[in-house]
Structure 1
Amino acid sequence: MKLNRLAGLVWAATACFFSCALAQPGGDSLGATLTRISTREAVYLGYRETAQPFSFLLAGQDKPQGFAWDLCEEVIQVVQQRLGKNIHVVPVPVTESARVMMVKSGMIDLDCSGGVNSVARQKQVAMSNTIFVGEHRVMVRRGSGIERFEQLADKRVAVLNAGQAERFVRQAALGRNISLQLLSVNSPVEAMTLLLRGDVDAFVGEDVMLAIQRAAQQADLVLLEGGLAAEPYALMFAKDDASFKKLVDETLVAMMQSGLFARVYDKWFVLPSSSEHAALGLPMSPLLKAAVQAPNDKPVN
């Protein structure tokens, strides 16, 4: 009888230990990610060293910066409030090919480098509400007379041989029943040289990449309105942790409703934020404005 009673007390104490470990002061379940962060009093944030303006590391500095990194810092402020303690931030460099594995294995708690939210990716990890919508767009010389895609008929168009720009251009041309001359190049610098020299009439690629190239060369170039294809970007974290996803998404929604999200966006995509970061001149697109008005985590196929 005494043994049964003792066993019951041990079971009750064990159950209390785990339930207390997984509960916040208010009594709600923290979930695996917040519990892990609370236990070690540290959060591991993934960043890419050269993914401007989402996350990057300047030479001689040990703290990353960028748009997605700033959003993550706001999330960590909420994490600290939720846990009622200071949390040490540990930046962890990641690569495009390894970051999903690093999230799944727990090597990082939150990926702050900004990544495409796709159906395939959501099968492996969780994605936040949309923080950016990348578009493949057309860039031309100012005064060229080209104001819409249809005017590229019989024109010379540069695309990178790595990536999806060529496919998107061919699809758009077929859908509009026009023909054009595609020139596949090895690098953005090569494409910019051809465009500025007049050897091609347009350069098609991801809007952020185009804006970075334009800013770097201080070139008088124009991004045409409207994109050929769109991809939502999001923060990435462990799958099947409803508590952490709720915290991340609610933090982003609060930022969007207060106007803080727009200010952080302008800092990195519109205005020059430092001597090392030129103004990209890339205001919020209609697609991103819609995602801010109606936050969602819908993936692209």
Structure 2
Amino acid sequence: MKVAARHGTSTGSTAHGTCRAQRTRAMPASCAGRIARFAAHARRVFVTLAAFGAASLACAAHADELTGTLKKIHDDGAVALGVREASIPFSYFDGTRTVGYSQTIALQIVDEIRKTLSMPQLKVHEITVTSSNRTPMLLNSQIDLECGSTTHTVERENVAAFSDSFFQYAVRMITRKNSGITDFADLAGKTVVTTAGTSDERLLRRLNTDKHLNMRITSVRDHQEAFTTLKEDRAVAFVMDEPIVYGFKATDPRPDDFVVTGTPLGYEVYACMFRKGDKPFRELVNGVIARAQTSGEAERLYRQWFTQPIPPHGINLNFPLSEQNRALFAHPNDRALD
């Protein structure tokens, strides 16, 4: 029995030792796997945190490098965009939202700002402006950018900066077809309406003085009020940018009652307006406009708004691309024409 007992004990001890040895060999492999997986996970977390930290530092550094309008937009988390209510087909309210040829350009610029600032959720605050208040609102930082129907003139360069031009046009007038008026000399002694604060008003007043026409010039708040003044026969003609008056003629319920006429008082260009002394913002804006013009995108956009039905009533302005605008698209520039 002792032998047996010893044998049994020896056998049991051996079995126990074998089992323990097996466990000793198996456990490290299992633990090693878990430890390896944990280490790999820890490395991924570390890398992610490191990348996040680096990105955060990069963003912070990037934000610290921003100046001018881009810094203001970054800090505000929004672009304050000046828009027009009735500059058809450039920037106008269609009953639901602001649309138009230059409004589309403005939103393309906003998209470029989003990319530059790495702020895909950047908001747009649309603020309605008029010809009279758009420049003061820009200078007071109430708006950051305005791409409506603002003429780039040498005089305005004293207070604001302008992008590459996106449209060239003539200054003419719209009148009733039965008025007998065909040119500006026919306005002598008559009441004429234009929009206050525009370059057209300045040209019209200069013409009145230089030619001694004795016109009674009425300057009103916006284009819609000016056209209404003409329709209500409180003026015989509305002097304004040719595409603007074509827009009113096309969208009127009785378009055949009106005619656009007159030897052009001059040729001018529209551009986006922003604050002076802001080279980074100027380069961003001009980059968007120049790329669109030289790629053919600007001509496609022109056809959409000037030769096809536009909202809200599907009216077609039938205003083909001029050779002047074609040349502008081929050679983007920011020159005033006055």
TM-score, normalised via structure 2 length: 0.63
Say if 1:36 and 1:260 are closer, same or farther in 2 by CA, change over 3 A: same
**Equivalent position to 1:32, from 56, 68, 78:** 68
Matched residue, 1:43: 79
Say if 1:79 and 1:272 are closer, same or farther in 2 by CA, change over 3 A: same
Q: 1:159-238 alignment to 2 at 5 Å?
A: 160=193, 163=201, 188=227, 205-215=240-250, 216=252, 217-219=254-256, 227-238=264-275
Q: 1:71-220 alignment to 2 at 5 Å?
A: 71-86=105-120, 87-137=122-172, 160=193, 163=201, 188=227, 205-215=240-250, 216=252, 217-219=254-256
Aligned length: 267
Q: Is the 8 A contact 2:162 2:334 kept in 1?
A: yes
- Structure 2: gaps (5+ residues): 1-56, 220-225
Q: 1:265 Cα shift?
A: 1.9
Q: Which has the higher helix share?
A: 2
Matched residue, 2:93: 57
Q: Is the 8 A contact 2:84 2:128 kept in 1?
A: yes
Q: Is the 8 A contact 1:192 1:213 kept in 2?
A: no
Matched residue, 1:256: 293
Distance 1:191 1:115 in 2: 22
TM-score, normalised via structure 1 length: 0.70
Once the two structures are overlaid, the 10-residue window that deviates more, 258-267 or 123-132, is: 258-267
**Equivalent position to 1:266, from 284, 303, 321:** 303
**Equivalent position to 1:286, from 314, 320, 323:** 323
Q: Give the RMSD, CA atoms, in angstroms.
A: 4.0
Q: 1:75 Cα shift?
A: 0.7
AA aligned opposite 2:77: E
1:132-165 residue CA offsets vs partner (Å, 9 max, x unmatched): 12312367999xxx9x979x99xxx995478367
Q: Is the 8 A contact 1:271 1:279 kept in 2?
A: yes
Q: Is the 8 A contact 2:183 2:263 kept in 1?
A: no
Distance 1:35 1:190 in 2: 43
- Structure 1: gaps (5+ residues): 1-15, 24-28, 175-179, 195-199
Distance 1:223 1:66 in 2: 21
Q: Is the 8 A contact 1:130 1:232 kept in 2?
A: yes
